Amino acid sequence: MAAPTQDLPPKGGYEAINFRRIPARTLFSGSQMFAGFSLMTAVAGYLYYRTYKKIRIEEIEMRSATLALEPLLLAERDRTFLKQLRQNRDEEEKLMAGVEGWEVGKHYGEPIYKTVPSDRFIDPIVQEYYAHGPTRSFTRHSLFSLWS
């Protein structure tokens, strides 16, 4: 058997333990950071100013084109809308033909709007407009901004 060896410290003793704080390396000081931020803001502001005018003109042009076409599309839509109102009325008449006390356009004989003259045009609510059609038409209308 070999001679037993002891676990002794190395020759010359252990090295000293480093318990000092190690702060982070500072790349920029505080005032350098403020200065850099101001410089970047100034450059970005200048570039923004240059493109802002261009973008504004383009937006106005797009809006002009939309407004120029609006009467045309609105007239077409009005005609379709009025045709559909007539079809709705005819459909309701057919549907409620056997119901006692039902007048077309009223709720069991009671008008919907009481304080306005009877020939005043008030837009029907969406559900009433699509009442006789498939549900998907109503869904597409009411969730238009989600579908498009």
Residues at the interface with another protein (CB under 8 A): 57-58, 60-72, 74-76, 78-79, 81-83, 85-86, 88-89, 93, 103-106, 111-113, 118-119, 121-122, 124, 128
Residue whose CB is less far from another protein, 58 or 95: 58
Site of tokens 């056997």: 98
The least distance separating another protein from the CB of residue 148, rounded to whole angstroms, comes to: 12
Of the pair 58, 142, the CB lying nearest another protein is at: 58
Question: Among residues 39 and 62, whose Cβ is nearest to another protein?
Answer: 62
Q: Which is nearer to another protein, 37 or 93 (CB)?
A: 93
First to last CA, the chain: 89
- Least Å from the CB of residue 136 to another protein: 22
